Amino acid sequence: MTGTLLSINGLTKAYPGVVANDNVSFEIGEGEVHALLGENGAGKSTLVKMIYGLVKPDRGTMQLRGDAYAPAEPSAARAAGVAMVFQHFSLFEALNVAENVALGMENPPGMRDLAARIREVSEMYGLPLDPDRIVGDLSAGERQRVEIIRCLLQDPKLLIMDEPTSVLTPQEVDILFETLRKLSAEGTAILYISHKLEEIRTLCDNATILRLGQVVGDCVPRDTTARDMAEMMVGSSLLVPERAGGTVGPVLLKINDLSVASPSAFGTSLKNISLEVRAGEILGLGGVAGNGQDELLAALSGEIPTAPGAVELDGKPIGGLGPVARRRLGLLTAPEERLGHAAAPDMSLIENALLTGSVREGLENRGFLKWGKAKSFAEAIIERFDVRTPGPDNAARSLSGGNLQKFVIGREVMQRPEVLVVNQPTWGVDAAAAAAIRQALLDLAAGGAAVVVISQDLDELMEISDHFGALNEGRLSDIRLAKDLSVDEIGLMMGGAHGMEVAHV
């Protein structure tokens, strides 16, 4: 490290009702890999948006290599040498890689030159990518490479990466880290945003920790334990979920050779999936996003009808039943997408409690709604799952992601399911709330329910699952006892090899 690349002094940004960043200061050196750590809502996104010119700070200044730096818009930031890879990709699925890269550039060269440059950069940094492939056919890891290469072509001095590993297999993570180390060695600084502590410990030189918009500490991750960092992030000691260890009972949920086509053109069809979950057991299903998770959940919730015998609940074929009938029998689900799928954004929490609770909680009588009872149900969820909201009359979209997630999971858990299937139960939820959700799932299993947890967070799955399986391109791996598995084995189960071979050039 030769000197300071970017220094941030007293940046403050307030939104109505919340101070997202309060007097934040830190420095990033040339070629340094700097971690920005914090729970959801700690202000990480706002901070990097200010650095990338998407948001203007209310107060405070930045200096890039000693010169005043105040980008009015992202193109100014890019011109100054700051590039960013977003957590959610902005790619057009119907276009090929080179076309997508060209769309993100100010002055794209000709397609032929660009394709050659993409090959060159992708080989130089060990990120295999064929410029002629259609983005819709790429895995999440490959799509991320498109974004990264788009940034690298502009030769950045600072590369901002927002939770880049959330969509990757362990093997893909290794490839990414190699690339990032190489970049850092060549003098490109990296601002790395994450809440995965082990990753930060292996990759980053320095870390700045944010809590509630303020810098609460910094550390050298290699010399700090994950637990210490977590406690700085959360501001209190962490509650680790405990297993009560219930007895395993009869098979409650059974899937027999289930194959369904995905309703969306770029979705993944399910192919010959079979599994069994017993009472008192938690089955964890890993896999990189987009490998059939949404489709499996929809086939279990009843949104996608299947052959009657393909799904059995307690020995009864239920594949032909719709969501309401399945709920009545005790099969409850919680999809990944909170706003718009698990909950209606503009409706109140009372109405959202009614959304899945009407049958099992008796919230309707011959079609007429019992608003009083729905309200008490919503209040009970808010109370038990510590949902932070002024009251049940508030719209779902006014809640933060983590709070809404607690509400959505709580809504299903409170209905005493026989079988509960959840997809990404703690995605975007802060550490304390995630622990509470996991504990609720464990308690549910200890109480005799069968639980299926679909997640991309392997640590989470290892923590709570009895059995583990992985989805890869719509197929399910063998299901194995979770406690015997090593990380390498898990990676292979997830189809770890995929994306590792050099792209077909």
Partner 1 sequence: MLKLEKRPQPSQFWTYLTPLLAVALTMIAGGVLFAFLGKDPIVAIRTIFWDPLFSEFAFYYRPQLLVKGAPLVLIAIGLSLGFRAGIWNIGAEGQYIIGAITGAGVGLAFYPMEAWYIFPLMVIAGALGGWAWSMIPALLKVKFGTNEILVSLMLVYVAEQLLASMSLGLLKNPEGFGFPGSRNLNDYASANSWIHQNAGMHWGVVAAFIAVIFAYVLLNRHMLGFQIRLTGEAPRAARFAGVNPNRLILICLGTSGALAGLAGLFEVAGPSGQISIDFNAGYGFTAIIVAFLGRLNPIGILLAGALMALTYIGGDIAQSKLGLPAAAIQLFQGMLLFFLLAVDMLTNFRIRLGQKEVA
Binding site for partner 1 (CB under 8 A): 16-17, 56, 72-73, 301-303, 322-325, 327, 333, 335, 337, 340-347, 351, 354-356, 358, 364, 367-369, 371, 394-395, 397-398
Q: What is the C-alpha to C-alpha distance for residues 402 and 411, in angstroms, rounded to an integer?
A: 14
Residues in the chain: 505
Question: Can you tell me the distance from the alpha carbon of 115 to that of 97, in angstroms, rounded to the nearest whole number?
Answer: 9
Q: Which is nearer to partner 1, 368 or 484 (CB)?
A: 368
CB of 382 to partner 1, least distance (A): 16
Smallest separation (angstroms) from partner 1 to the CB of 328: 10
Phi-psi region of 364 (alpha: psi -120 to 50; beta: other; left: phi over 0): beta
Side chain identity at residue 242, one-letter code: E
CA 124 from centroid of its chain's CA atoms: 29
CB of 410 to partner 1, least distance (A): 16
Residue 230 vs 300, nearer CB to partner 1? 300
Nearest approach, Cβ of 15 to partner 1 (angstroms)? 9
Euclidean distance between CA atoms 442 and 165, whole angstroms: 26
Indicate the residue among 275 and 395 with the shorter CB distance to partner 1. Answer: 395
* 426 close to 433: Cβ distance less than 8 angstroms: yes
For residue 84, list its beta bridge partners. Answer: 160
The least CB distance from residue 324 to partner 1, in Å, is 4
Our CA dihedral for 118, 122, 124, 128, rounded to 10 degrees, sits at -150
Tell the smallest beta-carbon distance from residue 267 to partner 1 (Å).
13
Q: Are 449 and 370 in contact (CB under 8 A)?
A: no
CB of 494 to partner 1, least distance (A): 27
141: burial class by Cβ within 10 Å (0-12, 13-18, 19+)?
Answer: buried
Residue 44: burial class (beta carbons within 10 Å; 0-12, 13-18, 19+):
buried
| Shortest distance in whole angstroms from residue 16 CB to partner 1 | 8
Is 154 within 8 Å of 101 (Cβ atoms)?
Answer: no
| Residue (56 or 483) nearer to partner 1, CB | 56
Q: Which residue has the tokens 């990480």?
A: 44
Nearer to partner 1, 13 or 278 (CB): 13
Q: Interior CA angle at 102 toward 101 and 106, to 5°? A: 115
Q: Which is nearer to partner 1, 178 or 346 (CB)?
A: 346
Between 66 and 322, name the residue whose CB sits nearer to partner 1. Answer: 322
In a 3-state reduction of DSSP, which class is residue 62?
strand
For residue 280, count other CB atoms closer than 10 A to its CB.
22
Nearer to partner 1, 286 or 335 (CB): 335
Closest approach, Cβ 370 to partner 1, in A, equals 9
Place of tokens 């954004």: 345
Whose Cβ is closer to partner 1: residue 200's or residue 297's? Answer: 297
